[in-house]
Amino acid sequence: MALLFKSSWDRADWWRAELLKRIPDLDFRVWPEVGDEAAIDYALVWKPKPGDLARYRNLKAVFSLGAGVDHLFADPTLPKVPICRLVDRALTRGMAEHVLTHVLRFHRNLPGYERQQRAFEWKGLPIKLPEERTVGVMGLGELGGAAAATLADFGFGVRGWSRTPKTIDGVESYAGGGALDAFLSKCEILVCLLPLTRATEGILNRNLFAKLPRAACLINAARGGHLLEEDLIPALDTGQLGGAALDVFRVEPLPRGHPYWTHPRILITPHVASVTDPRSSADLVADNIRRIDAGEAPLYAVDPAKGY
């Protein structure tokens, strides 16, 4: 069986080595050395160009190299085969670590101390206990659910928002559009871990910011498309938001002249909140190839109607 690998971000040699350990007879082809297009059974990809995948007419499945599949559904010619996202313990742990790091940074007011240091100012700022701090997580799936559970274990007051209700120890569940305002009303730190779909595009906007407590902080580790870019700086400059930690952007890399780079209340990381590691992620891809080969349904196939 032949698998086509295409990504300008992930390392083909690592993936080849890890997949061949699991499926020694796999014909692992790296784009653009595709060979006979009709022989390709599987595509393992990150951000293929629209139209790319339609060339492989005998595809049995498409595997995303990341947890998100928005980069695939942007293609109107996407083949009608199972589209599988990546779910992996290392990816989940990495995201929980990213979220905990940034929540603690805001919780302990490190941005405030960084500003004071630049002004040679020696002054203690107010401190709260974690249980006195409410953190809200938008999206309680594989990543958001694990991040919320980690924050709850740490002692924060945690609430989460998802489409359907969830039961996670220590996490107050809010479900559906009707519960969004109540959810937002107490979030001093808001974490976005939603998938990017038609329903969630631009959800982080001035109307939503206005429903948060004043000086709330935003952590966006989901997708740049969730944030209405022009609404962020006014919210920070008026004090409605106290700070933002952004890992994802509408255009990546973030263009050099973008005002986010130099804003004193924005911390930028270059889409590294959680990075796919083939040493563990290859398990699911290999498992799914075996399942499809045996006539079984693959794991973590997304619902095209929902887009995630």
Ligand X SMILES: NC(=O)c1ccc[n+]([C@@H]2O[C@H](COP(=O)([O-])OP(=O)(O)OC[C@H]3O[C@@H](n4cnc5c(N)ncnc54)[C@H](OP(=O)(O)O)[C@@H]3O)[C@@H](O)[C@H]2O)c1
Nearer to ligand X, 55 or 186 (CB): 186
Cα–Cα distance measured from residue 111 to residue 104, given in angstroms and rounded to the nearest whole number: 11
Residue 95 or 217: the one with the smaller Cβ distance to ligand X is 95
| Token duo for residue 122 | 């020696």
- Residue partners of 222: CB distance under 8 A and separation at least 6: 68, 138, 139, 192, 193, 194, 195, 196, 248
Contacts of 11 (CB under 8 A, 6+ apart): 278
User: Are the C-beta atoms of 71 and 47 separated by less than 8 Å?
Assistant: yes
Residue 268 structure tokens:
């930028």
For ligand X, which is the closer residue by CB, 54 or 87? 87
**Dihedral in degrees, nearest 10, Cα atoms 38, 41, 45, 49:** 30
- Give me the amino acid identity at 144: G
Nearer to ligand X, 15 or 161 (CB): 161
* Closer CB to ligand X, 239 or 270, in the complex: 270
With CB atoms as reference, the residue minimizing the distance to ligand X is 141
What's the rounded Cα separation, in Å, for the pair 187 and 213? 7
- In this structure, the number of other CB atoms found within 10 A of the CB of residue 76 comes to 8
Closest approach, Cβ 272 to ligand X, in A, equals 6
Is 223 a catalytic site residue?
yes
User: How many whole angstroms separate alpha carbon 73 and alpha carbon 84?
Assistant: 12
Choosing from 29, 85, 98, 223, which is the catalytic residue? Answer: 223
Cα distance from N-terminal residue to C-terminal residue, the chain:
27
CB 285, CB 63: distance < 8 Å = yes
- Provide the minimum distance between the beta carbon of 274 and ligand X in the complex, in angstroms, as a whole number: 4
Which of 271, 279, 290, 291 is catalytic? The answer is: 271
Residue 60: CB minimum distance to ligand X, A: 22
DSSP letter, residue 254:
P
Closest distance of CB 251 from ligand X, Å: 15
Shortest Å distance, C-beta 44 to ligand X: 16
Q: How far is the CB of 32 from ligand X (least distance, A)?
A: 26
249 conformational bin, left if phi > 0, alpha if psi -120 to 50, beta if neither? beta
Q: Identify which of residues 67 and 227 has a Cβ nearer to ligand X in the complex.
A: 67
Active site includes 11?
Answer: no
Q: Which residues bind ligand X (CB under 6 A)?
A: 66-68, 95, 139-144, 161-164, 193-197, 199-200, 221-223, 247-248, 271, 273-274, 308
The C-alpha atoms of residue 150 and residue 159 are separated, in whole angstroms, by 12
User: Is the Cβ–Cβ distance between 103 and 219 less than 8 Å?
Assistant: yes
Which positions are catalytic? 223, 271
